Amino acid sequence: MEQLFSYRLYSLPRLFNANGDLTKRWYVYYSYKSPHDYSFQRFRIYKGLAKTTKKARKEEADRIIEELKTQLESGWSPFEKLINTEESYTIDFNTSIETAINRVTNEKKKYLRESSYININQRNKHFIKWLKQRGLSTALPETITKSHISDYLNELDVSARTRDNYLIDVKSTFSKMEEMGLILFDFSNK
149-154 long-range contacts, CB within 8 A, separation 24+: 149/188, 152/127
| 128 and 54, same domain (yes or no) | no
43 φ/ψ angles, rounded to the nearest 5 degrees:
-120, 140
The last residue of a domain, from among 49, 78, 107: 78
CA atoms within 13 A on the CB side of 46: 11
| 182 and 105, same domain (yes or no) | yes
Q: Give the pLDDT confidence of 39-79 residue by residue, as tens digits.
A: 788 888 877 787 788 998 999 889 889 888 888 888 777 77
Instruction: Bin 177: left if φ > 0, else alpha if -120 < ψ < 50, else beta.
Output: alpha
The last residue of a domain, from among 19, 48, 78: 78
| 104 and 50, same domain (yes or no) | no
54 in a domain, yes or no?
Answer: yes
| 51 and 102, same domain (yes or no) | no
Judge whether 143 and 41 are in contact, CB under 8 Å. yes
What SS3 state is found at 16? strand
88 in a domain, yes or no?
Answer: no
Counting the structural domains of the chain, the total is: 2
What sign does the dihedral 94-150-104-180 (CA atoms) show?
positive
- Mean pLDDT in residue range 119-137: 93
| Banded pLDDT at 185 (limits 50, 70, 90) | low
The pTM score is 0.53
